[in-house]
Amino acid sequence: MRPDSRDVLVTGGAGFIGSHVVDRLLAGGHRPRIFDQRPSPWHASADVDERIGDLGDVTRLRSAMAGCDVVVHLAAAADVDLVRADPLDAERRNARGTLNVLEAARQTGVGRVIYASTIWVYSDTPADCHEEDCALCAPGHLYTATKLAGELYCRSYLELYGLEYTVLRFGIPYGPRARPAGVVAQFVGRALAGEPLVVAGDGRQSRRFVYVEDLADGVVRALTPAAANRTYNLVGSEDTSIADIAESVRDLVGGVEIERVPARVGDFNGAPVSGARAARELGWEAQTPFVTGLARYVDWRRAEAASAALAPRTRVRGALGSLLRRTALALLAAATIAVMLIGIASLVPIDRDMDVYDTLTATLVMLLPLMLAAGFAWPAEARRGVRTVCWTIAAGDLVLVHHHPVFAISAAAIAVSAGLVVRERPALAVRVATGDG
């Protein structure tokens, strides 16, 4: 264990940015713990401790933070259009959610909260170049207001309770695992589908994009003690307009048109944002040029699409392989029992009218219900029918008990047992059989 390694809770660690932060923490020798509403699709539970919960549940937050040195708070309602559509939920998750994280951190003795804010806080502030100490104007967009509220809560918890914080104002993130709602993800998705790229307004709105793996590196660098109670812009080194994005995507994917629509209300105006403080104090600068990162993302989307296309066949092969393995095991068990019974019958005659070969045949027949029940996984709606078949065989064996009592009673017992162990097929196999998913 490295002497500077930390136990770090990552809220939203199953998401786009959070999953990359978890990767970077692992690579840096830290011990990340995920707090999210869903299990991470990017990490095995054996590699990363996961806690499922909601930001509104302070009790679960406290439990998840127990023993942690730092909390990286990334969980939020980040889609500005969804924020506009449901402002109450956005306030609950962004503003009150951050307050809950800070309170849980205070109660559990966490040393510092690293808060993910956004360069959208500059959207209503006129400046030639935005630096961290510039005076901010009242925001026009609710998303910006909720993120600024989180920044103010961080400062208040330092003043009132001595809880350290670091505010990171993210540039516009893009890259593998991105949410479908992001502008780069939308453009790439539409281009790969052969649909036109829609540009709001004149397309000259510029952004400081930042490749997600670079961004994750900046978050981890903010663990340094020197970053306590400081604010940093984590942005790319180049301003990229929306029109530039559309043209770059068109050039990479090919064969798509660009359409213009009216500008969005409350859109980020895109004044330049300085990353000089992060370079000076954290030693962090974005390393990935936008076009390079975009090409990597396009390649990732294509690989994901190819993987999704192969998934049904892979699931079918997996289901067939599992079926064959179960059947082979059932046959092996039946053959083993048959050989044992043949041995017993050879040593101790059970019925003088039956020779060894009759014993083998009768044994295999009476083991059929067991193979039927345990050798196959049945959908829930078929289990009752299979049980009925097994118990019918058991009843038929008991009717014939006067012919060969030992075998008839044994066969009936095996059939009843088989009916009790009929297994339900896993949900994945059901989807393969029905064509869902």
Same domain, 317 and 280: no
Same domain, 45 and 148: yes
Same domain, 362 and 278: no
Contacts of 27 (CB under 8 A, 6+ apart): none
Separation of alpha carbons 382 and 322, rounded Å: 19
Q: Which of 267, 191, 270, 281 is nearest to 231 (CA)?
A: 281
Does residue 298 lie in a domain region? no
Same domain, 215 and 328: no
Residue 178: C-alpha distances to residues 47, 185, 213, 320 (Å): 22, 7, 11, 34
Contacts of 316 (CB under 8 A, 6+ apart): 432
Same domain, 326 and 213: no
Same domain, 115 and 21: yes
pLDDT of residue 361: 65
Does residue 216 lie in a domain region? yes
pLDDT of residue 358: 63
pLDDT of residue 207: 80
- Choice among 329-338, 340-349, 400-409 with the minimum mean pLDDT: 340-349
Does residue 184 lie in a domain region? no
pLDDT of residue 334: 57
pLDDT of residue 246: 92
Does residue 75 lie in a domain region? yes
pTM of the model: 0.70
Does residue 255 lie in a domain region? no
Q: Tokens 């503003």 belong to which residue?
A: 95
Domain that holds residue 49: 7-177+207-236+271-288
Same domain, 50 and 150: yes
pLDDT per residue as tens digits for the range 142-157: 999 999 999 999 999 9
Same domain, 275 and 334: no
Same domain, 31 and 128: yes
Does residue 364 lie in a domain region? yes
Cα angle value 379/383/389 (rounded, 5°)? 140
Q: Are strands 206-207 and 70-73 parallel, antiparallel or unpaired?
A: unpaired
Same domain, 18 and 54: yes
Q: Are strands 240-241 and 206-207 parallel, antiparallel or unpaired?
A: antiparallel
Cβ neighbours around 53 below 10 Å, total:
16
pLDDT per residue as tens digits for the range 381-410: 566 777 787 778 777 767 766 666 666 777
Same domain, 326 and 228: no
CATH label of the domain that carries residue 72: 3.40.50.720
Separation of alpha carbons 99 and 104, rounded Å: 9
Question: Which residues are catalytically annotated?
Answer: 143
pLDDT of residue 437: 32
Cβ neighbours around 80 below 10 Å, total:
20
Does residue 198 lie in a domain region? no
pLDDT of residue 205: 78
pLDDT of residue 357: 62
Give the strand order in the sheet containing 112-118. 49-52, 31-36, 7-11, 70-73, 112-118, 164-170, 230-234
Separation of alpha carbons 149 and 138, rounded Å: 11
Contacts of 225 (CB under 8 A, 6+ apart): none
- Which of 224, 253, 288 terminates a domain? The answer is 288
| Residue 274: pLDDT band with limits 50, 70, 90 | very high
Between 403 and 432, the more confident residue is: 403
pLDDT of residue 431: 31
Same domain, 231 and 359: no
pLDDT of residue 311: 55
pLDDT of residue 426: 40
Torsion angle in degrees (nearest 10) through CA of 421, 426, 427, 428? -160
Does residue 109 lie in a domain region? yes
Structural domain count, the chain: 2
pLDDT of residue 388: 80
Is residue 25 within 8 A of residue 9, CB to CB? The reply is no
